[in-house]
A and B are shown apart, each in its own frame.
Chain A
């Protein structure tokens, strides 16, 4: 059962990601990205990370994807410019990516990974509590910094994106 679910999500993820990458239409890509995020979220669940899966959905799907779509809308002249976007550097990119794939695959296959005792145990208990504890104890500083970064990003993005009134 576990395997089936895994392969399902894996397939969704990889297939939609491929669509994202290879689709000529940018709108298609954006929608395919939605499925990729879903697939990834599923994989998260399989990895005992329920909280993160939810977060993934909320942030990526609810936030980033919407942003991307806005971007597409705002930067694409709907009348003349085709929404399709071309590719370049295909050959070197293919080479490089193939090399990366080869490298990573080789590494992952051949490595003898350290395995913990609880390996593969799928637990049903939620991690929200643990994460909450960790965020306000051990990781309180990165947490605060992250919040500041977000604030700065919000303000910065707003600043940059706004239309200058007088030039």
Chain B
């Protein structure tokens, strides 16, 4: 076994150890739970960096496979067994670093943020199991373990979202997240079933090799596409793509650091990671569908984000939008760009959430101080002017906002540009021009709503002067992670060239994977496509800077200088505003159709079961009873009647004959003799 794989295993299992320690002995550790968990994650992070650097130094892929379950039988002359294993390649190491880094920072952040929580050690335990499952997704080399950890991520997000389960909204959100994810997982699972049925293996390597050799499920191109898309369903659920994006905004009911960890950087990125992993077996059709899903998602979410007032909701929709972006990037074939956007986004979006957490923390303390329980600590309309009070939070937040808006010199600029270039190239080859249009539109929208949030929160005047006095900068444990993440939002970490990522280490190490689908099904050949991206790059950069700048400008005009009245617009476009504010009525739609349908069907079936099926059973019993009553009557009247009649007859005869019975011995004797003589007379 390659020694580095031991390190990978150590990285994987350390958070699990942390989880087990805290879940069983959490009570004993009390306030030290956080430090213990943070220490574990710190070690994890160091190991991840170590693995990262040692892996990038080599081209080899470290892979180990063991047989988990052997069925001791052969199918098509192949031994039927389930292999599992772990694999470390460049993509894995990058993801390992992202996950452990964000997780570590969130651990640190939570030391302050969750200090007074009632279930402090439970919280850290849950963070541990989450990190474990997320790392599991990243290091496995097969779909089975992937699915296993996939579901475990679902569980741990359930636990984390529902951390404050006393609140109905929190437990609702947790439930919703799990169930919606399950719907996606169902597709994923069906995809796995198709693959397993055809190839009897679930390792990436095995499947890709088999597809490369021309074996297709049911010998059909459509089924290969379907398999890819079904696996993508998992991503739809986890990465909150349309139409299963509805859980993510609700998931903001969880503690803010949790939002940063799982709903910005890692869990939702798992879907994108899944697409990236599955990329070699995706056909052109599948990729097109994926691209459209991404585009639609990013557009819908961006429009909703514009009108939200809850700071976390804005960030949530921006996350959905950005995830759509990544999926779109992968869909159009800009593989490296999509993955890179995943990484850069992880850093700045986690930062955004943590910064918003910092703001909420400060607001909470102020409100708590004033005994104000009515004002919503997360509503941007009740904030404003926090710049002077919370400088570190402000400046880091600004950095993140710039990054997400795609302003040059930030990491976001690099990755977003590449995606947009990819969309342009894609439309060049395939004619799907809607995708780049949506891409640029969303870029502008993103810049607009992010700056809207930034301005409303930090600039201008605070709404309540009295409260303003009580707002302070957050403690170190909160702002240090912010600063670290802000640092990572600079371009230099990803490419030394500030305007193009394509010559950076990232593009070199995470390159377009070898596609295994049959040639006639594959997307545009890699070389041509990469070439075209280069062609489109300048154009994409110019356009993107343009639309972002425009978005930022409008935001400033509207909210900072107040040249345009947002309220007036809102009144003017009331129906549209309501439509967007109510999130395109997705929740209402689902409640009215899927949820109500299922529950209604459930009630109907329960009624059916109780009334019809059980009714038939009881009816049969009733019928039997009636028959038995009738036969009982028959019995008493006819059968028993005959018996009774016999008895009655006998009695009557007895009554008659009784008179002979005198009780006198001699009379009897007379009769006996008479009888004897009669007999005698008869026989003689």
A residues whose Cβ falls under 8 Å from a Cβ of B: 88-89, 92-93, 96, 99-100, 103
Contact = CB atoms under 8 A, between A and B. Distances in A.
A92 B670 contact: yes
Contacts of B680: 103
B6 interface: no
Interface residues of B, number: 8
B677 A99 contact: yes
B666 A103 contact: no
B667 interface: yes
A103 B677 contact: yes
B9 interface: no
A88 B673 contact: no
A96 B670 contact: yes
Contacts of B667: 89, 92
Contacts of A103: 677, 680
A100 B674 CA distance: 10
Contacts of A89: 664, 666-667, 670
Nearest to B666: A89
A102 to B, nearest CB: 10
Contacts of B664: 88-89
14 contacts: A88-B664, A88-B666, A89-B664, A89-B666, A89-B667, A89-B670, A92-B670, A93-B666, A93-B670, A96-B674, A96-B677, A99-B677, A100-B673, A103-B677
A118 to B, nearest CB: 31
Contacts of A99: 677
A96 B676 CA distance: 11
Interface in B49-76: none
A96 B666 contact: no
A148 B673 CA distance: 32
Interface string B662-683: 0010110010011001001000
Nearest to A99: B677
Given A89-B670, A96-B673, A100-B673, 11 more contacts: A88-B664, A88-B666, A89-B664, A89-B666, A92-B667, A96-B670, A96-B674, A99-B677, A100-B677, A103-B677, A103-B680
Interface of B: 664, 666-667, 670, 673-674, 677, 680
Nearest to B673: A96
A100 B673 CA distance: 9
Task: Determine the main DSSP class of A at the interface with B.
Answer: helix
B44 to A, nearest CB: 108
Q: Which 3 interchain pairs have the tightest Cβ spacing? A: A92-B670, A96-B673, A96-B670
A16 to B, nearest CB: 23
Contacts of A92: 667, 670
A19 to B, nearest CB: 21
A88 B666 CA distance: 9
Contacts of B677: 96, 99-100, 103
Nearest to B677: A99
Contacts of B670: 89, 92-93, 96
A92 B673 CA distance: 11
Nearest to B671: A92
A62 B680 CA distance: 38
A139 B399 CA distance: 142
Contacts of A93: 666, 670
B93 to A, nearest CB: 117
A96 to B, nearest CB: 5
A96 B667 CA distance: 11
A99 B664 CA distance: 21
A100 to B, nearest CB: 7
Contacts of A88: 664, 666
A88 B665 CA distance: 12
B666 to A, nearest CB: 6
Nearest to A88: B666
A103 B678 CA distance: 12
A6 B680 CA distance: 32
A27 B435 CA distance: 147
A99 B670 CA distance: 12
A99 B680 CA distance: 12
Nearest to A93: B670
Nearest to A107: B684
A68 B281 CA distance: 130
A100 B677 CA distance: 8
Contacts of A100: 673, 677
A103 B673 CA distance: 12
A105 to B, nearest CB: 14
A88 B670 CA distance: 12
B670 to A, nearest CB: 5
A103 B681 CA distance: 10
Contacts of B673: 96, 100
B665 to A, nearest CB: 11
A89 B666 CA distance: 8
B154 to A, nearest CB: 98
A89 B664 CA distance: 10
Nearest to B667: A89
A114 B55 CA distance: 141
A89 B670 CA distance: 9
B345 to A, nearest CB: 118
B680 to A, nearest CB: 8
